[in-house]
Structure 1
Amino acid sequence: MTFFRRRRPWLPVAVAGAAALLVAILGGAATDVGPWYQSLAKPDWQPPEWAFGPAWTLIYALTALSAVAGWRGIRKRWQREWMVGLFCLNGALNVFWSVLFFSLKRPDWALYEVLSLWASVLVLIVFLWPHRVSAAALLVPYLLWVSFAGWLNYTVVAMNAPFGA
């Protein structure tokens, strides 16, 4: 591992950036804000559609920075492997929420899944905290955003249910 730290200090940055970009692309591909989404009743306090792109871009950037900081702060190989696995799980849950909500048009299922997504962010924060506080702190906006998105998801379900009829 010291080889990568000494010879290739850019490698964790490249891998984390590519992973964040992949999650963004897959999530974006699953997100269709066409007629079905436009027809949903939404709360007055929902941010405008244009705000979601910049918000998620910031979240993905902070997540990639967190992964790099965590990688550099963790010394044991098995802990790094756990960290990578937790970030992979989080990325999969992130994309899966978009698939459920937008592709399958099941905000009710997405509401249950967002609990897993939220928990995965919290687990990452707790896992990273002892190794590098800054890595954990970089994920706090993500946790707050998923909390907000979960409340928005709940409100959309409450205003539009039932789904899948």
Structure 2
Amino acid sequence: MKFKPVSFIINIALTLGVGALGGWATAQSVKTWYPTLNKPSFNPPDWLFAPVWTSLYVLIGIAAYLVWVKRDKIEHFPRTVAIYCIQLILNLGWSFIFFYLHEVGFALAEIILLLIIIVVNALMFYKIDKWAGYLLIPYILWVSFASFLTYSIFILN
């Protein structure tokens, strides 16, 4: 497979763009609303979220690139793209629901759906390119943790 730098950059930029939109939805509440919530003892420090999410978005973008360059050989490419886009939309949606709308219960339901779609996405990517599937494992693990954190915040508040 020949490396395609423009496609590589576009795939990473797309996921980082989703992250930037989520960051915009999050920015104000992180300073005002979020500190007022009761949080569990395992809640990570605020400074950890940005580097973790940035790293995850880069891995997601690389995984998408690995699939994109094989698109001509994928029988159901439109379905693969649809699942990928749905997980990106749900990812962004969680930030808006939790931080912008302050709807913790709705955010909990949404993040569970997000986790399911990420697993489906990872399995689809794995069938196309094993590394593309493997690159989504940290994303699955982090969103699993974020799901439990969201649940805990919901219960505590």
TM-score > 0.5, shorter chain as reference:
yes
Q: Do structure 1's residue 47 and structure 2's residue 44 form an aligned pair?
A: yes
CA distance in 2, matches of 1:87, 1:130: 14
2:6 corresponds to: 11
Q: Which ranges of structure 1 fall in alignment gaps of 5 or more residues?
A: 161-165
User: 1:87-137 CA distances to partner (integer Å, 9 max, x unpaired)?
Assistant: 211111011001110110011100000011101110111111221110000
How is 1:91-106 mapped onto 2 (pairs within 5 angstroms)?
A: 91-106=88-103
Deviation at 1:78, TM superposition (A): 5.1
Please, which of 139, 149, 152 is the counterpart of residue 152 of structure 1?
149
CA distance in 2, matches of 1:134, 1:77: 16
Specify the code of the residue in structure 1 equivalent to 2:89: A
- Identical columns (%): 35
User: 1:7-45 CA distances to partner (integer Å, 9 max, x unpaired)?
Assistant: x92232122122112101110011120221110000111
Specify the code of the residue in structure 2 equivalent to 1:38: P
1:127 corresponds to: 124
Alpha-carbon contact 2:38-2:153 (below 8 Å) kept: yes
1:25 corresponds to: 20
CA distance in 2, matches of 1:119, 1:20: 19
Alpha-carbon contact 1:100-1:110 (below 8 Å) kept: yes
Deviation at 1:69, TM superposition (A): 1.1
Specify the code of the residue in structure 1 equivalent to 2:8: V
Alpha-carbon contact 1:74-1:131 (below 8 Å) kept: no
TM-score (structure 1 length as normaliser)? 0.87
Q: Which has the higher mean CA deviation after the structures are superposed, 121-130 or 150-159?
A: 121-130
CA distance in 2, matches of 1:70, 1:96: 24
Q: Which has the larger radius of gyration?
A: 1
Aligned residues: 155
Helix, strand or coil for the counterpart of 1:129?
Answer: helix
Q: Which has the higher mean CA deviation after the structures are superposed, 119-128 or 71-80?
A: 71-80
TM-score (structure 2 length as normaliser)? 0.91
